[in-house]
Amino acid sequence: MTTFLNGGHVSANGIRQHYLRYGGKGHALIVVPGITSPAITWGFVAERLGQHFDTYVLDVRGRGLSSSGPDLDYGTDACASDIPAFAAALGLDSYHLIGHSMGARFAIRAAANGAPGLQKLVLVDPPVSGPGRRAYPSKLPWYVDSIRQASLGMSGEDMRTYCATWSDEQLALRAEWLHTCYEPAIVRAFDDFHEVDIHQYLPAVRQPALLMVAGRGGVIEPCDIDEIRELKSDIQVVQVANAGHMIPWDDLDGFFAAFGLFLDRSVA
């Protein structure tokens, strides 16, 4: 039985923010996906989260059904400020936050800015690149080429060139929705991976945080974990050994098991 309730839009932080809601009961939980992941592509994750939480999956600006176009700011600060604005618009005065990849960087920035009502923070394999640091492993053409192809029309089988290990259903969904990713928004986010040092904000994060690391992702190395622990000594770290950067796609059960009791209940 599905936990999906509805999709919706709110006006928050000066833009239209689209979301998908699952569950509707329990503590509020906001999910912020990665650089080219519209909210709907996280539906298979949110279905299970919705069994335990009142779960909202966001379309980040420039993606999915949220505001897009040439007049918006797609930088880290603007996108991070969308998160608490979204929570306020829906009257969520207490919520947990899960961010994956780019979404985890936005979550760190939002938490460092205060984010009223934010209780706990789950950071799923955030890029640790930045000025003077090791480059993010993925390359920009991988994103841009696939978006341009999707904009012309592509099948799930066409998408297999970019995501070889994904299921037929996952490939078809990405092929259907990738065209909603506005290319300049993606380029700005990718540039910010290398131009914004997210580490500088970690000492200001006061909420309990869980760092989930992909064992086969190549994004976060042991030395990065050591540095993050120095910057936020109380952070909890867990590794999903058999997963690449797209952890839920590679090992869904391992992804849920990695939460343990961090959110005060098991989601495994």
Catalytic residue chosen out of the listed positions 157, 169, 221, 230: 221
Assess whether 245 carries a catalytic annotation.
yes
CB burial of residue 93 (10 Å; 0-12, 13-18, 19+):
exposed
Partners of residue 15 on adjacent β-strands:
12
Q: Clarify whether 52 is annotated catalytic.
A: no
User: Per the residue annotation, which of 66, 67, 101, 146 is the catalytic one?
Assistant: 101
169 is catalytic: no
From residue 86, alpha-carbon distances to 17, 83, 123, 244 in Å are 7, 5, 19, 30
- Give the CA diameter of the chain: 49
Residues serving a catalytic function are 101, 221, 245
